[in-house]
Amino acid sequence: MGYYDQFSAALPLLLRHDRAITFSSEDPNAAYVIRNGAPLPSGNGSLRLAWVYHRPDDGVPLELYERGVWWHGAFYRTPDELRAGLGLPDAEFDQFLEDHPPIKAWYEAAANRG
pLDDT in tens, 51-86: 888 888 888 888 888 999 999 999 999 999 999 999
CA distance 66 to 1: 9
Question: How far is the C-alpha of 23 from the C-alpha of 44, rounded, in Å?
Answer: 18
Whole-angstrom Cα distance, residue 1 to residue 14? 14
Judge whether 21 and 1 are in contact, CB under 8 Å.
yes
Model confidence, pTM: 0.76
**Per-residue pLDDT, 58:** 84
pLDDT tens digits, residue range 21-59? 666 666 778 888 888 777 777 889 999 998 888 888 888
Structural domain spans, the chain: 2-113
